[in-house]
Structure 1
Amino acid sequence: MKIIIAGAGEVGFHLAKLLSYESQEITLIDTNRESLSYADNHLDIKVLKGDATSIAILKEAKVAHSDLVIGVTASETTNITVCVLAKQLGAKRTIARISNTEFITHKDEVGFTRFGIDELISPESLAASEIQLLLSQSAFNESYEFEEGALTMVSLNLSRTASFVGKTVKEAAQQFSEIHFVPIAVQRFGTQYTIIPRGDTQFKEGDTVVFITSEGGGQELCKMTGRANTAIKDVMILGGSKIGYKTSRDLSGKHFNVKLIEKNREVAMDLADQLSDVLIINGDGRNVELLEEENIKDMDAFIAVTGNSETNIMSCLVAKSKGVKKTIALVENMDYFELSQSIGIDTLVNKKLLAANNIFRYIRKGEVVAMTKLNNIHAELLEFRVKSDSKICNKQIKDIQFPRSAIIGGVIRDGEGLIALGGFKIEKGDYIVVCCLPRSIKEVEKLFL
């Protein structure tokens, strides 16, 4: 695919990096020479210095022959303008990064597609939604919903006390009369080796295991692993950023008790005016005495979303030491994901990765409805919609020539999530959730074309 990315900032560079690994034809446009120079030296892409809203620059980037134009500059006005111009100049699909989440809420009413914008994304909104989901699935390290929770992906680390450590997948499944979960990826402790599990795959202590669950599957996993999906009510948030604001607003709207700590007095005052149901505290969240004064020990969850990754990590460690059950830190450095479990933080959130996941589904072939890359595990989760002419339509799962490095995690039919085994027959209109290693993606895509 020929892809044009406007904006060489953190999201744009990360997208260009991921897409360049897949041999996509990438052109990165930015006005900042230094950002472009870094991208040019580190990535196999074409860079173009200039204003992406310039028609001449877009034509130089061969926008008329582009499959996808992505506007991810720091200015939502620029991103919207780039997409409108690109569509008029012949681009097949456009995606604009925005910061005003009202645009997403009212996108059908306003009709952005009529202007030439096919999709709107807000990394901050995606991060806030991810945090809310993590709080509702507090027993797990990572979570992702398909079709409003018909199927849910969860991941956890197996402790020695987990009942199925030492057992195979088949043996573990026999503990329940009805199966509401299935393992789809396993990463062995202390390695970067990802396994797509089969019936004879053995679970081992320290494994990071990713499951797909249907209704009731989460409770079954908690029972088997000795974890508690504790109800979270009292939440402390560090940082009055856009993510901090949106998370506070949404959680307080769902009757959570929220305290938000913001260092900047002016920002704290503005937040107090906007968030009447949230207790705003003007202070330095790195100050342990302040955290103790605000009864951090009584909090069910601590969420650090300042602009500094190290501050977020350290404050979460302090919260964990005070007995907080669930800690979530916003980080910019992808390398930190490998350290999260070893240093004791429950979950790390990265808005670049969330934005990239949201955009990546437009790169995949077949009718991809949703997609996520697993944190620190070399696998992708893809949700495909089955068309009448798809190669897997009207076939039983056991009869499909599925690659060994991929697995069907579940099927959503008429809004109901199902854990589908070998005898399950796939029909037109089904939504299929597939987990696959990078080497098998092209093979899996062909099955859904």
Structure 2
Amino acid sequence: MKIIIAGAGEVGFHLAKLLSYESQEITLIDTNKESLAHADTHLDIRVLRGDATSVSVLRDAKVETSDLVIGVTASETTNITLCMLAKQLGSKRTIARISNTEFVDNRELIKFPELGIDELISPEELAASEIQLLLNQSAFNNTYEFEEGLLIMVGVSLPKSAPFVGKMVKEAAQIFPGLHFMPIALQRKGTQYTLIPRGDTVFKDGDQVYFVTDSTGVDELYKLTGKKKEEIKNVMILGGSKVGFKTARDLCDKKFNVKLIEKDKAKAFEIADGLPNALVINGDCRNVELLEEESLDSMDAFIAVTGNSETNIMSCLVAKSKKIKKTIALVENMDYFQLSQSIGVDTLINKKLLAANNIFRYIRKGEVVALTRLNNLNAEILEFIVKATSEVTGKIIRELDFPRTAIIGGVIRDGKGIIALGDFEIKEGDRVVVCCLPRSIPRIEKLFL
């Protein structure tokens, strides 16, 4: 695919990096000489200095033959204008990064595709949605919903007391028949290796395991992993960033008791005006005494979304020491993100990765309708729509030529989530959720073409 990315900032560079690994033909446009030089040195891509809304620059980037144009500059206006121009000049598909979440909320009203913008991506909106989902499934450290919860992916660290620790996957299936979940990925404690579980894979104490489950299987997972579904009612948010404000607003709408701490006085007053149902406090979130004065120990969840990754992590560790049930930290540094299991914070979220996940499905072959990359695991979960021409159509799962580095986690059919085992027959129109390691993606894509 020929892909043009405008914006060599954190999101643009991260996207270019991930896409260059996939051997895509990437052109990165930016006005900043230093950012482009860094990208040119570290990535196997073409860089182009100039204004992304300049027709001559776009023609130089060969926009007329491009498959996808992605606008992820810091300017929402630039991104929207770029996509409109690119579509007029012949690009097949366009994606604009925006910060004004009103655009996302009113996409039905405004009809952006008619303007030449096929998709809107708001990293802040994605981060706020991720936080809400994590609070809803409080005992799990990673969650993702397919088709509004018909199938749910959850990640959990197995305690020693979990009844299937020490047993193989096939043994666990025999001991607990009729369960509504499937293990799809696993990382051993203290390692960076990702395993796709097979029948002979043994569950071990401390494993980070990802399951796909239907709506009835979530409660079963709570019981079998020894985790408790804690009720989250009182939430403290650190930082009045766009993510902090949107999270607070959404939680207030759902009747959570929200307390938000913002360091900047003017910003704190502005947020207080916009959030009449939240308690907004002006203060330095690095001050442990302030956190204690504001009854940190009575909180059910603690969410740190300031602009500083280190502040977010350290304040979450303070909260964890007060026995807070759920801690979530926003981090920009990908190196920290890779260490989420050992840092001690329940969940780290990263806007760049969330935005990349959303954009990635547009470069996959086959009809991919959803995609997520697992936190600090080298694996992807893709949701394919099965076509009449797909190789998997009419086949029983155990008869498929599926690589050992991939697994079908579940199928959505006729508005129902199904945990599909070996004797399940795949039909046209099914939505199939697949977890696979990167090296097996091309092979999986061919099965669903």
Q: Same fold (TM over 0.5)?
A: yes
8 Å Cα contact 2:251-2:258 kept in structure 1: yes
- Encode CA deviations 1:251-305: one digit per residue, 9 max, x unaligned: 0000000000000000000001000000000001111111111111010000000
Once the two structures are superposed, the pairs formed by residues 324-343 of structure 1 within 5 Å of their partners are 324-343=324-343
Does residue 93 of structure 1 match 2:93? yes
In the TM superposition, residue 173 of structure 1 has moved relative to its aligned partner by: 2.0
Structure 1 stretch displaced more, 52-61 or 426-435? 426-435
- In 1, Cα distance between equivalents of 2:100 and 2:42: 32
Structural mapping, 1:252-263, within 5 Å: 252-263=252-263
Note the C-alpha offset of 1:108: 2.1
Q: Deviations over 1:408-446 (max 9, x none)?
A: 000011121110011111111110000001110000000
| 1:387 alignment partner in structure 2 | 387
Whole-Å Cα distance in 2 between the matches of residues 223 and 308 of structure 1?
37
Q: What is the identity, as a one-letter code, of the residue corresponding to 2:389?
A: D
- How far residue 104 of structure 1 moved from its aligned partner, in angstroms, is 1.2
Q: Does 1:197 align with 2:179?
A: no
CA distance in 2, matches of 1:169, 1:219: 19
Which amino acid is the alignment partner of residue 445 of structure 1?
E
| Whole-angstrom distance in 1 between the partners of 2:395 and 2:285 | 56
Matched residue, 2:177: 177
Aligned counterparts of 1:221 and 1:110: Cα–Cα separation in 2: 41
Q: Relative to structure 2, which stretch is displaced further, 225-234 or 59-68?
A: 225-234
**How far did residue 224 of structure 1 move?**
1.2
Structure 1, 99-108 or 305-314: larger mean CA deviation: 99-108
- Listed one character per residue, the Cα deviations across residues 321-356 of structure 1 (whole Å, up to 9, x for unaligned) are 111110000000111123222221000000000000
Give the SS at the match of 1:318. Answer: helix
Q: Using the alignment, how far apart are the partners of 1:109 and 1:274 within structure 2?
A: 24
**Partners in 1 of 2:175 and 2:138 — Cα distance?**
24
Shift of 1:195: 1.1
Alpha-carbon displacement from aligned partner over 1:346-403 (angstroms, at most 9, x marks no partner) = 0000000000000000010000000001111111000001111111111111111111
> 2:339 is matched by which residue type in structure 1?
L
Deviations 1:99-146 (A, max 9, x none): 111111211221110111100000000000000000001111100000
Partner Cα distance (1:177, 1:399) in 2: 22
CA distance in 1, matches of 2:373, 2:402: 20
Q: Which residue of 2 aligns with 1:445?
A: 445
Total equivalences in the alignment: 449
RMSD: 0.8
Q: Deviations over 1:57-77 (max 9, x none)?
A: 000000001000000001111
Q: Which moved more, 1:272-281 or 1:177-186?
A: 177-186
Give the SS at the match of 2:417.
Answer: strand
Structure 2 unaligned spans of 5+: none
Distance 1:365 1:229 in 2: 38
**2:173 & 2:258 partners in 1: Cα distance?**
39
Q: Give the Cα separation in 1 of the matches to 2:83 and 2:339.
A: 38
* CA distance in structure 2 between the aligned counterparts of 1:177 and 1:48, rounded to whole angstroms: 58
Q: Match of 1:150, as an amino acid? A: L
Residues in 1 aligned to 2:371 and 2:338: alpha-carbon distance in whole angstroms = 21
Q: Which residue of 2 aligns with 1:232?
A: 232
Between stretches 260-269 and 105-114, larger displacement belongs to 105-114
SS at match of 1:174: helix
Residue 429 of structure 1 corresponds to 429
Letter in 2 for 1:289: E
Comparing 239-248 and 288-297, the one that deviates more: 288-297
Distance 1:279 1:241 in 2: 16
Matching of residues 30-429 of structure 1 within 5 Å: 30-429=30-429
2-side partners of 1:97 and 1:220: how far apart? Answer: 38
Per-residue deviation at 1:179? 2.1
Deviation string for 1:168-211 (max 9, x for gaps)? 11121233331211000111122222111111111111211111
Instruction: Give me the whole-angstrom Cα distance separating, in 2, the residues matched to 1:91 and 1:146.
Output: 29
Q: What CA distance in whole angstroms lies between the structure 1 residues aligned with 2:201 and 2:44?
A: 38
Structure 1: 5+ residue stretches without partners: none
TM-score by length of 1: 0.99
